[in-house]
Each structure stands twice: as C-alpha cells, then as structure tokens.
Amino acid sequence: MVETEQEQKRCGYVALIGRPNVGKSTLLNHLLRQKISITSRKPQTTRHRILGILSDINSQCLFVDTPGFHSQYTKVLNKVMNDTVISTLRDVDMVLFVIERLIFNEEDELIFQQVQKCTVPVILVINKIDQIQNKRRLLPHIEALANKHEFNEVVPVSALGGHNLERLETLVKGGLPFGPFLFPESQVTDRSSRFMAAEMIREKVTRQLGDELPYEVTVEIERFKLEGAVTHVHGLILVDKPGQKRIMIGSDGDRLKQIGSAARTDMELAFGCKVMLNLWVKVKGGWADDERALQSLGYLD
C-alpha cells in the first residue's frame, strides 16, 4: 500500500532542558531562524514554557523551551519553574539535554537524573563549543558523557555561531513520530502577542539592569489594543522593593525611557506595525513567593 502524504509527515514535541544560562533560548531562536524566546547573559531569564514551531514540507518540530532547572531555591517562583521542566519531560516525544563547553557540574547532574527517567529519545547537545580553547579536550569529554547514558546522539554545537545546527535539526526531524501537523505551517509559537510584549519588556529590563536588580522583577500588560494601524501597549513593571523602583526609573526617568525605547523597537519588528508603548513601575512586595500573584501573572498553568 502506498503511504498517503499525511502518513509520511512527522510531528512531535521536543523539550530543551538544561541548567540556567547554557543557551537553550538562543538555541531555540537560531533553530527557528527568528526570535521568540528572550535572552540575556543573566541566568534564569526564561521563566515560562515557550513553544517554538519549525515547519517544512514533511515535518513539524514543536520545540519546548523550558526554564533553567534550579538545584537550590527559596521562592515559590523557582519551584514553579522546576515543576514546569519536570512536567514537560512527561509530555514530549524527544529531549534535547543542553550543557555547555567542557562543564558537567552538580546542576547538570541533577537534570541528568531527570533525563535518565525519560523513555523517549534523548540527544545530548554540547553548546558553546566555540569558547573551548583546546578543542582536543572535546572528544574525551564526549566519550565520558556517552558512557554515562545511552544518548541517541551527542551533538556539539555553537548556537550563537550557528555551528552544527543543521545536523542537529536533521537528527531531530528524523526522530519525530509520524503524524499530522498540529499547527498551521505559518505559525511559529502558541504564545499571544500580549505575552510576547511582556517578555520583550522583561528582556530589556534584564539587559539594562544586569546585576543591579535581583530576580524579583516581572511585567504585566494592562492594555494591548490595535487601533487603526497602531498597537497601544500599557506595561506595568513589578518590583519587590521601593529602592528597586528608583533604580528601574533612573535619573529623570532616563532608565525607564531606554527600556521602553528598546522594547518598542522589538515590538514593531515582531508585530509589523507602529507601537505606542507606555511603561509604569509599581512595587508589589513578595510576588515571587505568592501563589495567587503567580497565578494572576501567568506563571501557573
């Protein structure tokens, strides 16, 4: 019997997991060839489960970018992020376990314990290989890791430099189960424009402030409306303490203006229209340790 065109298609969910700051979001963006997951040099930038959809004629890869897995935490937010990773592993068809360079530390080992429970194919992705000065150390490192677990493949890459991503993409597509596409071929994420706007603002906050602010910063979109050819966005940046509010606003509001300008530029590129962005800063103490607040802010499914 000749297979129908539908039966020849492959479609499946692929989880990207790893400790904070190994480059999962950067890897996702480069695989998709467009940016849907925010990035920064600061660990724990990704807080939500982000779905990135890569479609071609024969396959649809549903990449699930997850928060970095935390070995230690004190806030409810961090527990929620860890729970997101564990629940994602139960619902996917393939796992990309991302580590970096020649490092395999206690945090990697903790995630590896979760990986060992997986019954689906697991590809070990060694990212940031462009930062390895002595490349001769890479092969022994790969061999040592291959002896720890029967990975389906071990693939060294540089997500930022685009090295070896084609091979990784080919391996992922070939390992997906046969089945119909679950999303339109033109769709690149399941997240709303409202959600993406909040993430773009939070990315600019993280990049602008670096270590000046702790992790207790989040963004809530109070208004998102298209009027004519202009999208009006009202964003509320929530901080934990009054002193953080002063840092966020900056002298004569300069810091907040810079954040708004950079976020608006990204929004106009992503949404394909003019954006009027208004930002405010509000103190909401303890939000990262409050389940009700986390629910209203979209951190709890």
pLDDT at res. 36: 79
> Which residue(s) pair with 238 in the sheet?
218, 282
From-to residues of CATH 3.30.300.20 in the chain = 193-296
Q: Write the CATH number of the domain with boundaries 193-296.
A: 3.30.300.20
CATH 3.40.50.2300 assigned to 10-175: no
pLDDT tops 60 at residue 6: no
| Residues linked to residue 116 through DSSP beta bridges, in sequence order | none
List, by residue range, all CATH 3.40.50.300 domains of the chain: 10-175
168 pLDDT exceeds 80?
yes
- What pTM did the predictor assign? 0.80
Tell me the two tokens of residue 261: 């300008």
pLDDT recorded at residue 72: 55
Give, to the nearest 10 degrees, the angle between helix 254-271 and helix 193-209: 140
- pLDDT (0 to 100) of residue 169: 95
The number of helix segments (H) and strand segments (E) in the chain equals 9, 9
Q: pLDDT tens digits for 212-271?
A: 665 668 888 999 999 989 999 999 998 888 888 998 898 888 999 999 999 999 999 988
Nearest to 202 by CA among 214, 216, 219, 215: 219
Rounded to the nearest angstrom, the gap between the alpha carbon of residue 222 and the centroid of all alpha carbons in its chain is 23
Rg of the chain over all Cα atoms, to the nearest angstrom: 20
* Percent of the chain at pLDDT exceeding 70: 79
Which of the 8 DSSP states describes residue 225? E
User: Any idea which of 161-175, 187-201, 207-221 has the lowest mean pLDDT?
Assistant: 207-221
